[in-house]
Amino acid sequence: MKGRVAVVTGGGSGIGLAIAAAYARRGANVVIADLDLKAGQAAVSTIGTSATFVQTDVASQEDCRHLIDTAEKKYGGVDVLVNNAGLQCVAPVVDFPEERWNSLLAVLLTGTFLCTKYALPHMIRQRWGRVINISSIHGKVASPLKAAYVAAKHGVLGFTKVAALEVGEHNITVNAICPAYVRTPLVERQIAEQARQHGIPAADVVRQIMTEPAAIRRLLEPEEVASLAVYLASDDAAGITGAALDIDLGWTAR
């Protein structure tokens, strides 16, 4: 990835930070987008001089356009886009707050669309690009209490397929990664909420709820997802597009 320019949304922590760091170690210039100012600045401090932070709300059209414009002005373009920014709300459909539904879809689905829309012209001009959407195993299967998240992540997979068909002739690939639960701040915050909703101790949530369907009963580490994102950004993955690649500890083997 030496000399490539990668934009990673939600890059201040968790999966996004692991991907940004992995790209930087391989010689890429990384633009980290995150709503959390302190997390984004800390990520740049950790990665070093090859990283730049742009505070971004991916639900905002103006912010997404500014993010991609900043990458072009600072580094000359965009080679790789990783749509990773996310959030979660755990509640039954009958009690799901409408404003939370709207905010989840705005970040998870509309944000993916907006960043991709503004990055693609740069990739088309240079006739090379990689778009990597971080979906979820919940883009393929459902779990209770996650209506908005599951709906949005299913939408990301549909969007991935359409975009792949539209830009393949320009030597651009568009793929999605579908992880099971990953050890991130987002997942850690869910444990207490899942315990409350299901009426079980927090210590039992990982085994009884989060990893119960899996063959390997553990959480994924962010670096495992980052390794797949590195591969998809490489020339070795040039023949893979429109795919939804599972890294799910055997969740969908049933």
Share of the chain above pLDDT 90, in %: 81
Backbone phi, then psi, for 174, in 5-degree steps?
A: -130, 120
**Mean pLDDT along residues 118-145:** 96
Torsion sign across C-alpha atoms 104, 109, 110, 112: positive
Q: Determine the structural domain holding residue 232 and report its residue range.
A: 5-179+221-241
pLDDT band for 26, please (50, 70, 90 cuts): very high
Kindly state whether residue 39 falls inside one of the protein's structural domains: yes
- Same domain (yes/no): 211, 107: no
- Same domain (yes/no): 60, 165: yes
Kindly state whether residue 231 falls inside one of the protein's structural domains: yes
**Mean pLDDT along residues 30-45:** 97
Kindly state whether residue 250 falls inside one of the protein's structural domains: no
Backbone phi, then psi, for 147, in 5-degree steps?
A: -55, -50
Whole-angstrom distance, CA of residue 180 vs CA of residue 194: 16
Our count of domains for the chain comes to: 2
- What is the residue-averaged pLDDT of the chain? 94
pLDDT at 127 > cutoff 90: yes
What pLDDT is recorded for position 225? 98
pLDDT, tens only, 184-204: 887 777 787 778 777 888 778
What pLDDT is recorded for position 239? 98
- Same domain (yes/no): 185, 121: no
pLDDT, tens only, 194-253: 787 778 887 788 788 888 889 998 889 999 999 999 999 999 999 999 999 999 999 999
How many Cβ atoms from other residues are within 10 Å of residue 95's Cβ? 8
- Same domain (yes/no): 173, 196: no
pLDDT, tens only, 155-183: 999 999 999 999 999 999 999 999 998 98
Active site residues: 149
Nearest Cα to Cα of residue 87 among 72, 71, 105:
105
| pTM across the whole model | 0.94
- Same domain (yes/no): 165, 190: no
Please name the residues in contact with 232: beta carbons below 8 A apart, sequence gap of 6 or more. Answer: 130, 132, 173, 175, 177, 240, 245
How many Cβ atoms from other residues are within 10 Å of residue 87's Cβ? 18
Per mean pLDDT, which range of 44-53, 62-71, 151-160, 210-219 is the poorest? 210-219
What pLDDT is recorded for position 167? 98
